[in-house]
Homo-oligomer: A and B are copies of this chain.
Amino acid sequence: MIRLLLADDQDLVRGGLAALLSLERDLDVVAEVGRGDQVLRAVTEHEPDVALIDIEMAGGDGIDATAAVTASGSPCRCLIVTTFGRPGYLRRAMEAGAAGFVVKDTPADQLAQVVRRVAGGERVVDPALAADSLAGGIDPLTDREREVLRAAADGASVRTVAAQLHLSPGTVRNHLSSAIGKTEAENRYAAARLARDRGWI
């Protein structure tokens, strides 16, 4: 039997996945959690072979949870199952020690097979996504640029961002301008959107 942990903040999705995977004779869902920061504890407590982890969860990023499991030295293998196939997510997940990465568009009948391969020691990555990730290139932004872009992403004025980060307005504008140039966007908002889609911020 392959023991599974499910981490997803949407109850219906989690329950659905549990029902789906329980149809397989060799799979056993031994625990479910609804928050990223509960993953590690559940892993140590229930000792699953594979943890299926969503990225965007209330209460902690799934990638952080993956990193925590990896750092703990647990033999549990983390399989990211996420809505958003952003190249940056894939890269960050792999850096965090994930053993697999699939998007929720994956056909339902393939999930069990992916779980088995991950449990068997393989690394399983959505092939289309892997290509995107290579094509998308690496993050050209500096730490400050990321920070400023993130702060400005939802429409805050330059003055607000400057006050928030304890910078002069001119400096904020310079960082934004630089980020806009690097992303080849038309303005800060398009730049923020691009950076987010690529998983840079």
Contact = CB atoms under 8 A, between A and B. Distances in A.
Interface of A: 9-20, 22-23, 81, 83, 104-109, 111, 154-157, 185-193
B155 A105 contact: no
A48 B103 CA distance: 29
A155 B149 CA distance: 13
A192 B154 CA distance: 9
Secondary structure class of chain A's binding surface, majority of residues? helix
B189 A11 contact: no
A15 B20 contact: yes
Contacts of A186: 155-157
Given A16-B16, A19-B23, A11 B154 contact: no
Contacts of A83: 10
Contacts of A189: 154-155, 189
